[in-house]
């Protein structure tokens, strides 16, 4: 039997393989809500412009709402012979209301329909993702405030560099996530034009009102060129690009969780809720959630790569190639959403090992730069010379097998006579971080100011910086937002 939606000129139906390669219902059924909303807006506009009778409009809208209820109630049977969500919905509508259903497709095509549905879906998804990013940011800010004075080693090249505060480190991710949310919202702004009514590719001779449908569907305006409207997939590419960058940030953070939670580092303990045991090694607590977040970037970038290759070289306007946009995009956006949720859980539940971080922060002569800075500041030695002198001090400590704070004043004077005992006060990791009060620096006072700024930004409520030196909170978020 030929296809009842478009089979007029076909003598036979498609080969089984044709049906299999052609159908998208297996994955585009998740667009049902957007598809029905688009059809209701379209039918309403058709009636208001006199193209459809009010009676037909009423029965179409009522029928579509029944279809919606059936799908949501789980009683709808999707048919592969009907290819996609658009024809599955319309065919069910015909079963319910008869011939009037055939009038719904006046002045539109599946080409503008699918672009509209997918834009609506991506728009909703961006909103969810941005909310999730904000939730993760808030979890990080809460922890950052608690750990504003927790000192950990800061690394470059994954070698001990200078002490930093754990709160400062966590706030670095809040900054990255802030840009990620900005990129997603930026993509949302550009996508928010309605393709509906562009029809197959050229527009339509009916006196439709595209501004009306655009408005009903929450778009800012209709797209201005029908060819562009049905062949544009920039909106999903942009969203996937933003998603990829966000996933890359999560992957870096996840990698740090993996390193920090190892027995050798032991900077943090991940909760039982986000780790797994080993079936053979009873001592193991594997950071699987972090590892999987570290890995998800693969499929998210894969989706971006896949779709940009699909789109490359496609002539205008719609080609069926574009049906390949959905599976990868759904998978990528689902993966990012899951990663954000897992990260939020891990951040809220982790227990920092403050003592261990502090001891580690002092290792590797991490306050050597503070000595050099002291020589510059107090003895007016040029930085390059101060750097050289400090190098000799580090070498001496290495020789004596002690840390910089283990050196006596005689040791310092042996390297340079001009040094006096005041040097001792810059050798501690506490002094080192407290001194870094330059804007954006790691000092605990700065961390508290930045945490308050983010809380204000994220909640829309004014927040003052917490006072320094307050007794640390427990290891879990205090919620105080």
Residues 205-234 that bind ligand ARG (CB under 6 A): none
**Which stretch in 108-116, 120-128, 133-141, 369-377 sits in contact with ligand ARG by CB under 6 A?**
108-116
d(CA 379, CA 322): 69
CB of 227 to ligand ARG, least distance (A): 14
d(CA 36, CA 40): 6
Q: Considering beta carbons, is residue 23 or 40 the nearer one to ligand ARG?
A: 23
- Residues 6 or more apart whose CB falls under 8 angstroms from that of 22 comprise 14, 83, 320
d(CA 201, CA 209): 17
- Residue 316 in contact with residue 231, Cβ under 8 Å? yes
DSSP secondary structure, 105-136, as one string = TTT--HHHHHHHHHHHHHHHHHHHHHHHHHHH
Q: According to CB under 6 A, which one of 101, 250, 322, 332 is a site residue for ligand ARG? A: 322
CB atoms within 10 A of CB 380: 9
CB atoms within 10 A of CB 233: 21
**Which candidate in 2, 79, 278, 421 is catalytic?**
278
d(CA 153, CA 365): 11
Cα separation of the two ends of the chain: 62
- Residue 102 in contact with residue 60, Cβ under 8 Å? no
Q: Considering beta carbons, is residue 111 or 244 the nearer one to ligand ARG?
A: 111
Q: Considering beta carbons, is residue 110 or 168 the nearer one to ligand ARG?
A: 110
SS3 162: strand
**Which stretch in 152-160, 270-278, 315-323, 461-469 sits in contact with ligand ARG by CB under 6 A?**
315-323
CB of 114 to ligand ARG, least distance (A): 4
Residues pairing with 269 in the sheet:
351
d(CA 391, CA 288): 41
Residues 11-40 that bind ligand ARG (CB under 6 A): 24, 28
Q: Determine, following the binding rule CB under 6 A, whether residue 84 of this chain makes contact with ligand ARG.
A: yes
CB of 74 to ligand ARG, least distance (A): 23
Site size with ligand ARG, rule: CB under 6 A: 10
d(CA 52, CA 61): 12
- Per-residue contact string for residues 166-195; x = within reach of ligand ARG by CB under 6 A: ------------------------------
d(CA 191, CA 235): 5
CB of 149 to ligand ARG, least distance (A): 54
Residue 304 tokens read as: 């971006």
Judged by phi (left if over 0) then psi (alpha if -120 to 50, else beta), residue 197 lies in left
**Which stretch in 265-273, 316-324, 394-402, 432-440 sits in contact with ligand ARG by CB under 6 A?**
316-324
CB of 30 to ligand ARG, least distance (A): 12
Q: According to CB under 6 A, which one of 34, 39, 59, 111 is a site residue for ligand ARG? A: 111
CB of 323 to ligand ARG, least distance (A): 4
Q: According to CB under 6 A, which one of 108, 110, 119, 210 is a site residue for ligand ARG? A: 110
Q: Is 59 in the active site?
A: no
Q: Determine, following the binding rule CB under 6 A, whether residue 116 of this chain makes contact with ligand ARG.
A: no
Q: Is 463 in the active site?
A: no
Q: According to CB under 6 A, which one of 323, 339, 353, 446 is a site residue for ligand ARG? A: 323
Residues that bind ligand ARG (CB under 6 A): 24, 28, 84, 110-111, 114, 318, 320, 322-323
Instruction: List active site positions.
Output: 157, 278
């Amino acid at each position: 039997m030929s296809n009842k939606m478009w089979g007029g000129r076909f003598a036979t139906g498609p080969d089984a393989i044709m049906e299999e390669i052609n159908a998208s219902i297996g994955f585009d059924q998740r667009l049902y809500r957007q598809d029905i909303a688009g059809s209701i807006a379209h039918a309403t506009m058709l009636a208001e412009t006199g193209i459809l009778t009010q009676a037909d409009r009423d029965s179409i809208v009522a029928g579509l709402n029944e279809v919606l209820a059936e799908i949501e109630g789980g009683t709808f049977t999707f048919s592969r012979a009907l290819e996609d969500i658009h024809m599955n919905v319309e065919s069910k509508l015909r079963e319910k209301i008869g011939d009037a259903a055939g009038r719904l497709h006046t002045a539109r095509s599946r080409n503008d329909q699918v672009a509209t549905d997918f834009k609506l879906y991506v728009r909703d998804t961006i909103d969810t993702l941005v909310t999730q990013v904000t939730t993760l940011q808030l979890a990080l800010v809460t922890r950052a405030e608690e750990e504003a004075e927790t000192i950990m080693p800061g690394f470059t090249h994954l070698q001990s560099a200078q002490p930093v505060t754990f709160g400062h480190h966590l706030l670095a991710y809040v900054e990255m996530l802030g840009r990620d949310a900005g990129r997603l919202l930026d993509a949302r702004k550009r996508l928010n034009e309605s393709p509906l009514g562009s029809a197959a590719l050229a527009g339509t001779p009916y006196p439709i009102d595209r501004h009306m449908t655009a408005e009903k569907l929450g778009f800012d305006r209709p797209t201005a060129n029908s060819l562009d409207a049905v062949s544009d997939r920039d909106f999903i590419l942009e969203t996937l690009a933003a998603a990829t960058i966000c996933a890359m940030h999560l992957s870096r953070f996840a990698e740090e969780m993996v390193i920090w939670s190892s027995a050798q580092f032991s900077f943090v303990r991940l909760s039982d809720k986000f780790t797994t045991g080993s079936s053979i090694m009873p001592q193991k607590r594997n950071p699987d959630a972090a590892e999987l977040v570290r890995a998800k970037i693969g499929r998210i970038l894969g989706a971006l790569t896949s779709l940009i290759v699909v789109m490359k070289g496609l002539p205008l306007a719609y080609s069926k190639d574009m049906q390949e946009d959905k599976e990868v995009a759904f998978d990528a956006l689902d993966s990012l959403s899951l990663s954000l949720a897992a990260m939020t859980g891990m951040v809220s539940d982790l227990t920092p090992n403050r003592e261990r971080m502090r001891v580690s922060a002092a290792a590797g002569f991490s306050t050597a730069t503070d000595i050099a800075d002291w020589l510059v500041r107090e003895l007016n030695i040029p930085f390059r010379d101060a750097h050289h002198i400090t190098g000799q001090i580090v070498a001496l400590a290495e020789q004596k097998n002690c840390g910089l704070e283990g050196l006596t004043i005689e040791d310092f004077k042996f390297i340079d006579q001009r040094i006096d005992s005041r040097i001792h006060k810059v050798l501690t990791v506490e002094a080192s971080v407290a001194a870094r009060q330059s804007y954006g620096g790691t000092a605990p006072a700065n961390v508290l100011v930045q945490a308050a700024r983010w809380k204000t930004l994220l909640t829309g409520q004014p927040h003052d910086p917490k006072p320094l030196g307050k007794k640390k909170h427990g290891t879990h978020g205090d919620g105080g937002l």
